[in-house]
Amino acid sequence: MVDSRVVRVTLKDISLKTGYTINTVSRALKNKDDISTQARELIQKTAKEMGYINNSLASSLRSGSTKTIAIIVGDISNPHFAIMVKEIEKSSRKHGYVCLVINTEENSELEEQAINSALGKQVDGIIICPVQKSVDNIEYLKRTGIPFVLLGRRFDRTDFDYVICDDTHGGYLATKHLLDKDHKRILILKAPDYISSARERLAGYLKAMNEYHIEVDNELIQEVGVVSGDSRQVIKKVIEEGIQFTAVVAFNDMMAWEVIYALNRSGYKVPGTIAVVGFDNIQSRFFFPFALTTIANSKSKMSKRAVDVLLKKINDPITHTTFNEVIQTQLIVREST
C-alpha cells in the first residue's frame, strides 16, 4: 500500500542540500541582512525547488506573535467595506502582517462569534466596525487584553481607540449643498439610532436645516435598516403616503443607488425631479454610468491610520494612550444633484 502522507521539507533538509548550517538557512529564509546576498539567493532558490513551506504555527509559538490581524466588518458586499478591507490589507502587508476578514452581517451574535473566532486563531490585533446594538461585545474584547481599534463607528465613552470620519460635518455638507440649490423638503434616510455615524449624520442634517431657518418636518426623517433592499421599501412607503420631498440625503451610497432605482421605477427622474446625495464616495474606486453626488470620507486615510494605531498598541501593549481620531469629510458634486 502506498503511503500518501505529505513529507514536509525541513530546514535540516535544506541545510544538507546547500551545505549551510540550519541557523544560516533559517536566517536566509527570513531575509536577514547578516546573510550574504549570494547565500540568501541560493538557499531561497533551493527551498523553493524542494517545496519548503514555512511552519508559521511553530514560528508563532516561538515568538508569541502570529503576524495576523483580524478585520471584522458588517457587510463585505458593500463596496465601502470592500475598499476599506483592501486598504487595511495593503497597509498591513507592508508591516509583514496578513489579514483575516470576518463578516458580521450587522448582527450582534455573529459579531461575538467573529471576535471569539479571531481570538481562537491567536491574532495579534483586531480592527472592527462594531454592530453597536450594545457595547457588550466591545467591553468583552477590551477585557481580553488584545489590541483593537474601532473603525468608522464609536461609542460615547472615550476609552476605546477609534478612527472615524467627521460624520456630523458630512451630514451638514450634504444637506447644505441641497439647501443651496433651493431644496427645502429634504428627505433624510438614516440608519438606526444605535449606530453612531447615523446619529452624527442626522445631527449634521439638523444643523444645516436650522442654519437656513428651515422648519424640520419629522415625516422627512425616515429610518432605514442597514440590510440591502430596505431603502426601496421606505421610498415606496413615503411616496404612497403622499409625503412631499424634492431631495434625498441617504445614509450611504448603496442606499442612494437603491433610492434612485426606486424613484425611477415610480416615474421620478434624478436629478430632474428629485436630487440625491449619498455618503462614502465609492465611485472613487468603482465607475458607474450615472455619477452620484456624495460625501467623501477618505477610506484610504482611515484604513491606514487604523493599522498605524493598532500596530502602536501591538508593539507597546502597556501604553496608556487612547487614540480617538476623526478624519475630515468633503462634498463631491456629480450628476445626481
| pLDDT at res. 6 | 53
Tallying the residues shown for the chain, one arrives at 337
Do 292 and 309 belong to one domain? no
Asked if residue 258 belongs to a domain, the reply is: yes
pLDDT of residue 56: 58
Strands 330-332, 294-296: pairing is antiparallel
The answer on 210 and 171 residing in a single domain is yes
Distance CA 14, CA 46 (A): 7
Residue 26: predicted pLDDT: 87
The string of DSSP codes covering 271-303 is: TTT-EEE-SS-GGGTS--SSPPBEEE--HHHHH
Same domain, 131 and 115: yes
> Each residue of 108-163: pLDDT tens digit?
999 999 999 999 998 999 999 999 999 999 999 999 999 999 999 999 988 999 99
Residue 6 falls inside a structural domain: no
98, three cell numbers: 496578513
Q: What is the pLDDT of residue 2?
A: 44
Give the residue numbers spanning the domain of 38: 11-54
- The answer on 283 and 305 residing in a single domain is no
**pLDDT averaged over every residue in the chain:** 91
Is the distance from CB of 276 to CB of 336 less than 8 angstroms? Answer: yes
Q: Can you say how many angstroms the Cα of residue 75 is from the centroid of all Cα atoms in its chain?
A: 9
Residue type, 305: R
Report whether 277 contacts 249 (CB < 8 A). Answer: yes
* Same domain membership, residue 139 and residue 88: yes
Please state, in angstroms and rounded to a whole number, the distance separating the CA atoms of residues 221 and 283. Answer: 26
What's the total number of domains in the chain? 3
Tell me, what's the pLDDT at 1?
44
Q: Is 331 helix (H, G, I), strand (E, B) or coil?
A: strand
Same domain for 79 and 155? yes
Q: What pLDDT does 55 receive?
A: 64
pLDDT at 320: 80
Is 5 within the bounds of a domain?
Answer: no
pLDDT of residue 105: 93
One DSSP character per residue, 216-278 reads P-GGGEEE--SSTTHHHHHHHHHHHTT---SEEEESSHHHHHHHHHHHHHTT--TTTT-EEE-
One domain for residues 255 and 321: no
pLDDT of residue 21: 93
Q: What's the confidence (pLDDT) of residue 60?
A: 54
Relative to beta strand 186-190, strand 247-250 is parallel
Instruction: Give the chain's residues under pLDDT 50.
Output: 1-4, 61
How is residue 265 written as a grid cell? 421605477
**121 with 195, same domain?**
no
> So what's the pLDDT on residue 164?
97
Q: Are residues 285 and 313 in the same domain?
A: no
* Confidence (pTM): 0.83
Q: What is the CATH number of the domain that holds 183?
A: 3.40.50.2300
